[in-house]
Amino acid sequence: MIRFDKLWETMKRKGVSTYLLREKCGIDSKTIRRLRANENIETKTLDKLCAALDCSLDEIVEYVKE
């Protein structure tokens, strides 16, 4: 299972809110809800998140074996 728990930790560490994500990189509320629920998102969204947070993919996503 792909989990986005690290995303929220990275956002907190960098002082970035979901409001800033929506404004800074154009991620809509629906996508934020999908991230919170660990649902599927597009790879271009991952790219936007890494760019907005100036981080690598492993700082926002992790694979957890079910």
Phi, psi of 47 (to 5 degrees): -60, -45
pLDDT computed for residue 23 by the predictor: 87
The CATH number of the domain where 52 resides is what? Answer: 1.10.260.40
Residue 32 domain boundaries:
2-63
- Work out how many domains the chain is built from and give that number: 1
Which residue reads 């790879």 in tokens? 43
**Two tokens, residue 60:** 């926002």
Torsion region of 38: left, alpha or beta (phi above 0 gives left; psi -120 to 50 gives alpha): left
Tens of pLDDT, residue by residue, the chain (66 residues) = 999 999 999 999 999 999 998 987 889 999 999 999 999 999 999 999 999 999 999 999 999 998
Alpha helices, DSSP H only, in the chain? Answer: 5-14, 18-25, 29-36, 43-53
- Give the three-class secondary structure for 45: helix
The reported pLDDT for the residue numbered 29 is: 93
Res 66: pLDDT: 82
